[in-house]
Amino acid sequence: MPASPSLNIVLGVGGGIAAYKSASLLRYLKELGHDVHVVPTRSALHFVGTATWEALSGHSVSTEVWDDVAEVPHVRIGQEADLVIVAPATADFMSRAASGAANDLLTNVLLTAQCPVVLAPAMHTEMWLNAATQNNVSILRSRGVVIIDPAVGRLTGSDSGPGRLPEVEQIAQIALAQVSQRSKDLAGKQVLITAGGTREYLDPVRFLGNSSSGKQGIALAQAARDRGANVTLVCANVTLPLPHGVDVVPVETGSQLAAAVFARSEQADVVVMAAAVADFAPVQVSDTKMKKVAGQEEMTLTLRPTVDILAKLSADKKPGQVIVGFAAETGDANGSVLEHAQRKLATKGCDLLVVNQVGSGLGFGTDDNEVTILIREPQSAIAVARAPKLVIAHAVLDAVIA
pLDDT tens string, the chain, 402 residues long: the values are: 334 558 899 999 999 999 999 999 999 999 888 999 999 999 999 999 999 999 999 998 887 765 665 454 557 788 889 999 999 999 999 999 999 999 899 999 999 998 889 999 999 888 999 999 999 998 998 888 888 888 887 776 667 778 889 889 889 988 887 775 456 889 999 999 999 999 999 999 999 988 889 999 998 998 898 888 999 999 999 988 787 789 999 999 999 999 999 999 999 999 999 999 999 999 999 999 988 888 888 888 899 999 999 999 999 999 999 999 998 877 787 778 888 888 889 899 999 999 987 766 666 767 778 899 999 988 889 988 877 788 889 899 999 998
Domains of the chain, by residue range, sit at 8-177, 190-285+302-401
Instruction: Say what the pLDDT of residue 73 is.
Output: 53
Residue 397, SS3?
helix
Instruction: Say what the pLDDT of residue 76 is.
Output: 76
Identify the DSSP state of 102: -
Of the chain, the percentage scoring pLDDT greater than 70 comes to 93
Distance CA(356)–CA(360), nearest Å, equals 11
Instruction: Say what the pLDDT of residue 181 is.
Output: 47
Terminal C-alpha separation, the chain: 19
Instruction: Say what the pLDDT of residue 154 is.
Output: 73
Q: Which of 130, 136, 210, 369 is catalytic?
A: 210
Distance CA(354)–CA(341), nearest Å, equals 8
Do domains 8-177 and 190-285+302-401 share one topology? The answer is yes
Instruction: Say what the pLDDT of residue 197 is.
Output: 94
Instruction: Say what the pLDDT of residue 71 is.
Output: 57
Distance CA(351)–CA(346), nearest Å, equals 10
CATH T-level fold of 8-177: Rossmann fold (3.40.50)
CATH T-level fold of 190-285+302-401: Rossmann fold (3.40.50)
Instruction: Say what the pLDDT of residue 314 is.
Output: 95
Residue 122, SS3?
coil
Please confirm, yes or no, whether 210 is among the known catalytic residues: yes
Instruction: Say what the pLDDT of residue 1 is.
Output: 36
E strand residue ranges, 237-290: 247-251, 270-273, 280-282
Instruction: Say what the pLDDT of residue 32 is.
Output: 87
Query: Which residues, at least 6 apart from 323, have a Cβ–Cβ distance to it below 8 Å?
Result: 271, 273, 310, 313, 314, 317, 349, 350, 351, 352
Distance CA(131)–CA(64), nearest Å, equals 30
